[in-house]
């Protein structure tokens, strides 16, 4: 069965510092991979996605993620964090079957220190 | 703004009651997905409808049901409500051409059962 693990429940970084949020998945084939962000009281906004091709994908707000098949990982990175990046980040897996529903990780809450 | 609308934004009700949550997908999207976000279960897929037909079921309780209407809007019906049903309910939509596609999420309906 497919699953997603986000090992870091809460991360605190200083504004301007680099960021890496970890995501590992379990799935028998190459999944579709997504990162969503949820600001307090808001819905989920798509940051970026990987379907196939180039394993380094660029997203909105200066985020990027790299798919590493050998490590079953899809880590999210940003070179310089802004205070407005404080939010909860969810990694999700979509499977290549008839159902297109997503399986989400438990999320990582990002706090940004001025 | 994702283009997915959900009403109401907030709902407060009592145990044993029944409520209906409404979702309008993005223009042109044929698939609607319902997800539940709770503190103990995280983000879980409930059910998917495609062009009026049920496509996939997740961890949806028998007390919950959904439907998608000819104009493609969807309703999630929650009955015999329990305290544990308090959660944020998201609707998402996608075009769903039979391959991986991005799901766009609405702002959610926050349900509080007292």
Asked whether the beta carbons of residue B90 and residue A43 sit closer than 8 angstroms, the reply is: yes
pLDDT class of B102 with cuts at 50, 70, 90: confident
Asked whether B33 and B26 are in contact (CB, 8 A), the reply is no
What is the spatial distance between Cα B75 and Cα B111, in angstroms, rounded to a whole number? 14
pLDDT digits (tens, 9 = 90+) for B17-66: 999 999 999 999 999 999 999 988 899 999 999 999 998 899 899 999 99
Asked whether A107 and A7 are in contact (CB, 8 A), the reply is no
Asked whether the beta carbons of residue B100 and residue A32 sit closer than 8 angstroms, the reply is: yes
Strand, coil or helix: B108: coil
CA of residue B94 relative to chain centroid, distance: 13
Among B33, B43, B44, select the one facing A90 at the smallest CB separation. B43
pLDDT value at residue B99 = 63
pLDDT at B8 over 80: yes
Mutation pick from A32, A34, A52, A100 vs chain B, by most beta carbons of B within 10 Å, is A100
Q: Which residues of B touch A51 (CB under 8 A)?
A: 100
Asked whether the beta carbons of residue B105 and residue A96 sit closer than 8 angstroms, the reply is: no
What is the spatial distance between Cα B3 and Cα B34, in angstroms, rounded to a whole number? 16
pLDDT at A99 over 70: no
pLDDT digits (tens, 9 = 90+) for A83-92: 999 999 999 9
Q: Is B82 on the interface with A (CB under 8 A)?
A: no
- A18-32, B21-35, B91-105: least confident range: B91-105
pLDDT, chain B, mean:
93
pLDDT at A11 over 90: yes
pLDDT at B4 over 80: yes
pLDDT value at residue B6 = 97
Among A36, A43, A105, select the one facing B106 at the smallest CB separation. A43
């Amino acid at each position: 069965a497919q699953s997603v693990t986000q090992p870091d429940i809460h991360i605190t970084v200083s504004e301007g510092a680099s960021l890496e949020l970890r995501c590992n998945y379990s799935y028998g084939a190459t999944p579709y991979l997504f990162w969503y962000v949820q600001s307090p009281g808001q819905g989920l906004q798509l940051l970026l996605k990987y379907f196939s091709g180039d394993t380094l994908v660029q997203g909105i707000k200066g985020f990027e993620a790299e798919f590493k098949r050998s490590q079953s990982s899809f880590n999210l990175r940003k070179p310089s964090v802004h205070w407005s990046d404080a939010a909860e980040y969810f990694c999700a897996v979509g499977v290549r079957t008839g159902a297109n529903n997503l399986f989400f990780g438990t999320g990582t809450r990002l706090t940004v220190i001025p | 703004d994702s283009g997915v609308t959900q009403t109401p934004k907030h709902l407060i009700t009592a145990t044993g009651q029944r409520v209906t949550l409404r979702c309008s997908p993005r223009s042109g999207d044929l698939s609607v997905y319902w997800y539940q976000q709770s503190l103990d279960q995280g983000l879980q897929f409930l059910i998917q409808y495609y062009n009026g037909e049920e496509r996939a079921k997740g961890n949806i309780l028998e007390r919950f049901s959904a439907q998608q209407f000819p104009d493609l809007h969807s309703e999630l019906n929650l009955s015999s409500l329990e305290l544990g049903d308090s959660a944020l309910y998201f609707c998402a939509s996608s075009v769903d051409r039979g391959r991986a596609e991005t799901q766009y999420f609405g702002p959610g309906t926050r349900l509080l059962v007292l």
